[in-house]
Amino acid sequence: MSLVTTLSQVPKKMRDVKTYIPFASASLAFVVGAVILASTDIDVGRAYTTMFRGAFGSIFGIGDVLVKTISLLLTGLAVSVAFKCRQWNIGAEGQLYMGALGGTLVGISLLGAVPGLAIFLVMLLSFIFGSLFALVPAVLKVKFGVNEVISTVLLNFVAILFISFLLHGPLKAPGFNPYSPEIAEASEMPIILPGTRLHAGIFIAVAATVGVYYLWKTKIGFEIKSVGANNNAARYAGMNITKSILITFAISGGLAGLAGGLLVSGVQHFLIEGISPGYGFIAVIIALLGRQHPIGVAVVAFFFSVLMTGSESMYRSLSIPTAFAMTLQALVLVFVLVGQLFIIWLNKRQTGRRLDLKEKWLAK
Amino acid sequence: MKNITIRFGEVTANNNVDFELRKGEIHALLGENGAGKTTLMSILYGLYQPQAGEIIVKGQKTSIKSPNDAMTLGIAMVHQHFLLTPPHSVTENIIVGLKESRGLLINMSAAEKKITQLSEKYGLKIDPKTIVGDLAVGEQQRVEIIKALYRDVDILILDEPTSMLTPQEEKALFSTLQSMVRQGLSIIFITHKLREVMEVSNRVTVLRGGKVVGTVNTSETNETELARMMVGRPVIESIAHMGYSSNSPVVLQLKNVSALNNANVMFLKELSLELRRGEILGIAGVDGNGQAELAEVIAGLRKVQKGEIIMDGKSTTALSPRKIRELGLAYVPQDRLNTGLILEYSIAENLILDRWYFEKYSGRVFLKKDEMKKFAEKAVSEFEIKTPGINVPVNSLSGGNLQKVLMARELARNPKVLVVHNPTRGLDIGASHYIHEQLIKQRDAGVGVLMISLDLDEILTVADRLAVIYEGKIMAVMDTKDADVDYIGLLMGGKESAVYSKKEEAQDRK
Amino acid sequence: MAGEVEAVIIGVLASGIRLSTPILFAALGESIAERSGVLNLGLEGMMLFGAFAGFMGTYLTGGNYVVGILMALAAAAGLATLKGFMSITIKTNQLAAGLAIWLLGTGLAALLYRLYFGVRTAAPSVELLPKIDIPGLSSVPVIGEVLLGHDPLVYIAFLLIPVTYFFISRTNLGLKIRTVGENPKQADALGVNVDKIRYLAVILGGALAGVGGAYFAIVQTGYFLETITGGVGWIALAMVIFGRWKAYWIAAGALIFGMVDSSQLALQATGTNIPFQFLLMLPYLIPIAILAATSKKAGAPAALAIPYRRGER
């Protein structure tokens, strides 16, 4: 839907109870989180204040929120692109790692020292590596009918193990630790907010958001969208389903790979195991919550970054485990899904036929 | 059943229906599609609840809230589309969900014994151990019937039982029904086939448009009368049939086309048909006689097993749908929501669904939104589509406007052949009228229009010629202005003879 | 030399059986759920949560394994009920619901564990579930040593294979489950409560997955880690497809997997030149290869992952 349409529907949507369901779900998630904390005698008020202060209380905090947003936004977009075509790409984490590899390879090579060119190559290669890795399950699906949920998930582990192998072997920097050598300075993303870790990658992420937004307005985007929305009608109208699937995975993997490359180039400056705390998996929740609209994805990605940053602060001050963030995120998703019950209940008050249509749509 | 009324959204499927079944009789429920027969029986079987009316079984007023209730009352239903699980055996299909099988283990031998007993009692030969998927259609139906009988029924409902049977299987079924009745069962037999009604029933109730037209003793009526009751007198719209000439060249030809339906049954049986330029040819018939399959083979969406399709001189039998459309076919399917349009999309997006790759609508990368907009606005004004805007998702449009969007898209192709299937189904008078006008416009412009419709009135008012389809074959073709409704009704009900005279009608009445 | 080789092989085989046990629990359980038509992508989360609950139960009671297993059962069943609620009652997209459960189970397990134990120098641990020794039989050469002397859960898992087969194929309830998964309309028209049967199947499947998860904690390691299940839930899902939803085939798949995993560990130990990571990859690549080689979706329950609404026109 165009931006204009979305905006013109704002007043209507404000009156509609359904818009508030995501907020209600988020709140419920916080309530459940509070219950869990309280059960171990943790001061809930203090916990949540710490979280909030951790995210917004300092420049460093805000910077860190935005740094995380880069990764979550890119991976969230990656997964949402795939979901828009109804391709269930759960392999963003693995694709991210492969992208990180690509970026590292540039960074430690000769080309990595060339100012200007280096950064460009880092991004290009991380995109390509992620893209190619995603094409593996794509081809497996179109040629062999392998269910992409399973193949993408399992390939995550393969990718992570592969990186591990490289870091213990060929790619290992001298010393005892399994890190790669540091990338050249020219390959590093410049910090744009002094006193924080926020680097220029944020612009890339924003650009990607805009890019995905316009993707759906292109010829190829239209085809992909249609195949995802109703592949009967799409086939009947003459669209090529295989082509759409392949392109979708390529873009999806590329974006995830880009996220990986930016982690290396902007944050760590070398490749290390565990460089991603599961961004690729959280991205799945983000994509589902963002309803495949790039703006929605951005909003959710930001919100989740706040949760994660705040959660780190909760760990430092109160020893609350960082898994708290992941739990909250999963709860938000659960409550949103459950919230659909209310949407259906509300719709039951409207005409019968429309109900069936909406139900069918929501159930997809 | 008294005063039964049920509504689905805007449609009143049963309107104050009274229906009565006497013990030991075979009572036929006759009507065209959409008349409400299956709905009424689904209410009796507990699948739907009526908004009004009451049900009295064996003298006691009851409410039937689920199939379980129905079965407790001794009512069983054999559905038109079998409810069977192909990978399972006959026995497994029959005994699932039985109240007696509370125990842990399936008592296979006891069940098989009972099935064999039943099959012998009613002459329904079946081996309980066979896998249902391996059975022929007629045999599968026997499983369905035994499934019903297994549960101690008094009232058996059969929904269009002969729709997939061969003549021999049909004969066998009828004698089974007779023997069941002798054993004390009472049977309700839903059908649209006149011959069957005359052959097997004691009484018949005719439904039309959700209302009861009448209930008569079979011995006191004949096929003609039944046909008249079933089909009614047409409401004549005054649409002039202008410019139609019988010498126009043939633009679409089907030669002995045979095709399978989704259940892999041969559904089109050597069907031959000719459509001329500048005419509207209506295909009349009761639903389920091959209409959808006919439309789909023409559009290239269904494979032709035998025979040939020639459009505008070129053979299109084995071409892809896209190619056939590029050669000049436009198709408005009956399933607007699923195959025709994408609900979440806007009007503009739906309109270019089949042509987004044309240079007109897309540059090298982007879709040309302005061109799309112009096209959409033109379509909206030309077709008087009532919508808040061209960017609104189409699932908010009414049925009539949805159809207009589809028509707009298909007609914009300037086709040579236009196939429409149930073009005004679910539309109000105004929208229907509009669609008819559009079809006439196309006809006047020289397009060959094939209008497949379940609404005989529509065909009689709009089409120049009409053909009746029955069990995958064309029964007869005639000019609409000379058409005799009773005769058509007979053809739709399967009466094969093409020769008919007033004398025969007089004889039937005696 | 031959004796050494023989010992190694026996060791690998025996170890393979143990490695396949969690998959057996999870895959057999999931096959029941899928037979009723519900797809559960959250299997991994249920297993991990079950692992956590199993560990906690055993730890808190000072070593009572029965309590531990029961807690694992209950915890995973609880998650399964939530999944069922989302998929059966609310009829939401089953893939989304499954993924939500996966992340919720993973998150909760990690969160609750660390909340309870905090940061400690020594990880809390429990005694491993003891092996049982059937007197006399374990001295049978070769087979004896491979098949016997395992912990009780192994034997329960293996018993589960024929039990699952029998339950699904020969009982009335199993027939209902199968019919609900193939043709829910038929089941409904014959008076079967489709939703109830699906809930039953899903919860049963979840409970078994929980036991499978607990196996890691109380048998293989004795402690709990967030990564303890290592993606095995996903492998179990692949095994269900590979096994065409049939108990014996699923079991075969699980065993093959266990053997491959075990061989890979042995190869690592012998210090081959192949970097251990590649060997570790095998368990994840093999299911993909199997899926690619076998024909698509053959034998899937016809109504799998399709929500059922009565009277849908």
Task: Tell me the pLDDT tens digit for each residue of B211-239.
Answer: 888 888 888 888 777 777 777 654 444 55
d(C-alpha B225, C-alpha B333), whole Å = 33
Kindly state whether residues B290 and B427 are assigned to the same domain: yes
Nearest to C169 by CA among C12, C298, C35: C35
Residue B504 above 80 pLDDT?
Answer: no
Nearest to B64 by CA among B45, B91, B82, B77: B45
Nearest to B365 among A218, A236, A352 (CB): A218
Nearest to A330 among C104, C114, C116 (CB): C104
**pLDDT tens readout for residues A156-178:** 999 999 998 888 888 888 877 78
Q: Which residues of C touch A150 (CB under 8 A)?
A: 234, 237-238, 241, 287-288, 291
Residue B450 above 90 pLDDT?
Answer: yes
Mean pLDDT, to the nearest integer, of C134-158? Answer: 70
**pLDDT tens readout for residues B254-269:** 888 888 887 677 888 8
Where is the domain boundary, B410, B438, B463?
B410
pLDDT at residue C134 in the model:
58
Residue B158 above 70 pLDDT?
Answer: yes
Q: Which residue has the higher pLDDT, B300 or B399?
A: B300
**Rounded (10°) CA dihedral A87, A91, A95, A100:** 140
Residue C256 lies in a domain: no
pLDDT at residue B87 in the model:
86
pLDDT at residue B59 in the model:
80
**Long-range CB contacts (within 8 A, 24+) of A51-57:** A51/A307, A51/A310, A51/A311, A51/A313, A51/A314, A52/A310, A53/A310, A53/A313, A54/A309, A54/A310, A54/A311, A54/A312, A54/A313, A54/A314, A54/A316, A54/A317, A55/A306, A55/A309, A55/A310, A55/A313, A56/A306
Nearest to A157 among C89, C116, C284 (CB): C284
Counting the structural domains of chain B, the total is: 3
Q: Do A112 and A106 touch, CB atoms closer than 8 A?
A: yes
pLDDT at residue A354 in the model:
41
Q: Do A125 and A102 touch, CB atoms closer than 8 A?
A: yes
Which of A351-360, B314-323, B475-484, C33-42 has the weakest average pLDDT?
A: A351-360
Residue C253 above 80 pLDDT?
Answer: yes
Mean pLDDT, to the nearest integer, of B138-148? Answer: 85
Residue B243 lies in a domain: no
Residue C138 above 60 pLDDT?
Answer: no
pLDDT at residue C50 in the model:
94
CA atoms within 13 A on the CB side of B406: 32
Where is the domain boundary, B410, B433, B457?
B410
Mean pLDDT, to the nearest integer, of B145-158? Answer: 86
Mean pLDDT, to the nearest integer, of B96-123? Answer: 80
Residue B380 lies in a domain: yes
Q: Which residue has the tokens 């309980």?
A: B128
Residue C183 touches partner B, C-beta closer than 8 Å: yes
**pLDDT tens readout for residues A226-245:** 898 887 788 777 778 889 99
Q: Which residues is B209 bridged to in the sheet? A: none
d(C-alpha C213, C-alpha C26), whole Å = 8
Structurally, at CATH architecture level, domain A70-320 sits in Orthogonal Bundle (1.10)
Report in angstroms the alpha-carbon separations of A46 from A52, A65, B359. Answer: 10, 20, 62
pLDDT at residue A16 in the model:
58
Q: List Cβ neighbours of A324 (8 Å cut-off, separation of 6 or more).
A: A33, A37, A311, A314, C107, C111
pLDDT at residue A9 in the model:
55
Residue B254 lies in a domain: yes
Kindly state whether residues B103 and B179 are assigned to the same domain: yes
Instruction: Mark yes or no for CB contact C288/A151 under 8 Å.
Output: yes
Residue C287 lies in a domain: no
SS3 assignment, position A353: helix
Residue B300, amino acid: G
pLDDT at residue B240 in the model:
52
A167 phi/psi in degrees, rounded to 5? -75, -20
Query: What residue numbers bound the domain in which B284 lies?
Result: 250-328+415-509
pLDDT at residue B232 in the model:
66
Residue B58, phi-psi category: left (phi > 0), alpha (psi -120 to 50), beta (remainder) = left
d(C-alpha A342, C-alpha A18), whole Å = 8
Instruction: Mark yes or no for CB contact C189/B93 under 8 Å.
Output: no
Instruction: Mark yes or no for CB contact A219/B356 under 8 Å.
Output: yes
Report in angstroms the alpha-carbon separations of C138 from A335, B49, B78, C5, C85. Answer: 52, 65, 59, 19, 46
Report in angstroms the alpha-carbon separations of B195 from A359, B139, B186, B198. Answer: 42, 22, 20, 5
pLDDT band (50, 70, 90) for residue A356: very low
Indicate the burial class of B76 (C-beta count within 10 angstroms; 0-12, 13-18, 19 or more): buried
Q: Which residue has the higher pLDDT, A6 or A94?
A: A94
Residue B106 touches partner C, C-beta closer than 8 Å: yes
Q: Do C87 and A321 touch, CB atoms closer than 8 A?
A: no
Residue B437 above 80 pLDDT?
Answer: yes
pLDDT at residue A352 in the model:
43
Q: List Cβ neighbours of A212 (8 Å cut-off, separation of 6 or more).
A: A77, A80, A81, A255, A294
Mean pLDDT, to the nearest integer, of C76-88? Answer: 92
Nearest to C198 by CA among C104, C306, C97: C306
Kindly state whether residues B73 and B177 are assigned to the same domain: yes
pLDDT band (50, 70, 90) for residue A363: very low
Residue B312 lies in a domain: yes
Residue C228 lies in a domain: yes
Instruction: Mark yes or no for CB contact B97/C178 under 8 Å.
Output: no
Q: Which residues of C touch B153 (CB under 8 A)?
A: none
Q: Where are the beta strands (DSSP E) in chain A?
A: none
Residue A290 above 90 pLDDT?
Answer: no
SS3 assignment, position B142: helix
pLDDT at residue B121 in the model:
81
Nearest to B346 by CA among A226, A352, A14: A226
Residue C139 lies in a domain: no
pLDDT at residue A348 in the model:
62
**pLDDT tens readout for residues B481-500:** 777 777 787 787 776 654 44
Residue C144 lies in a domain: no
Kindly state whether residues B265 and B192 are assigned to the same domain: no
Kindly state whether residues B114 and B208 are assigned to the same domain: yes
Mean pLDDT, to the nearest integer, of A174-186? Answer: 82
d(C-alpha A310, C-alpha A46), whole Å = 12
Q: Which residue has the higher pLDDT, B396 or B40?
A: B40
pLDDT band (50, 70, 90) for residue A357: very low
**pLDDT tens readout for residues A91-107:** 999 999 999 999 999 98
Q: Residues, chain C, total? A: 313
Where is the domain boundary, B392, B410, B428?
B410
pLDDT at residue A77 in the model:
96
Query: What residue numbers bound the domain in which C112 lies?
Result: 24-122+151-248
pLDDT band (50, 70, 90) for residue A353: very low
Q: Do C38 and C87 touch, CB atoms closer than 8 A?
A: yes
Nearest to A364 by CA among C237, C96, C102, C40: C96
**Mean pLDDT, chain C, as a whole number?**
84
d(C-alpha B202, C-alpha B23), whole Å = 11
Counting the structural domains of chain C, the total is: 1
d(C-alpha C79, C-alpha C72), whole Å = 11
**ipTM for the whole predicted complex goes beyond 0.90:** no
Q: List Cβ neighbours of A320 (8 Å cut-off, separation of 6 or more).
A: A37, A42, A47, A311, A314, C115
Pairing of strands B26-30, B186-191: parallel
Q: What is the sign, positive or negative, of the torsion defined by CA atoms of A316, A319, A322, A326?
A: negative
Pair of tokens at residue C131: 């092996």
Residue A232 touches partner B, C-beta closer than 8 Å: yes
**pLDDT tens readout for residues C13-36:** 888 888 999 999 999 999 999 999
**pLDDT tens readout for residues B159-181:** 888 766 766 777 888 888 888 88
Kindly state whether residues B323 and B366 are assigned to the same domain: no
Instruction: Mark yes or no for CB contact B97/C191 under 8 Å.
Output: yes
Shortest Cα distance, chain B CAs vs residue C304, angstroms: 14
Residue B395 touches partner A, C-beta closer than 8 Å: yes
pLDDT at residue B235 in the model:
44
Which of A146-150, B279-283, C83-87 has the weakest average pLDDT?
A: A146-150
d(C-alpha C283, C-alpha C255), whole Å = 12
- This prediction has a pTM of 0.79
Q: Which residue has the higher pLDDT, C55 or C138?
A: C55
d(C-alpha C46, C-alpha C54), whole Å = 12
pLDDT band (50, 70, 90) for residue B510: very low
pLDDT at residue B104 in the model:
75
Kindly state whether residues B352 and B320 are assigned to the same domain: no
Q: Report residue A331 CA to chain centroid gap.
A: 17
pLDDT at residue A24 in the model:
82
A296 C-beta neighbours (distance < 10 Å), count: 17
d(C-alpha B443, C-alpha B275), whole Å = 12
Which of A102-116, B119-133, B493-507, C1-15 has the weakest average pLDDT?
A: B493-507
**pLDDT tens readout for residues A56-87:** 888 888 889 999 999 999 999 999 999 999 99
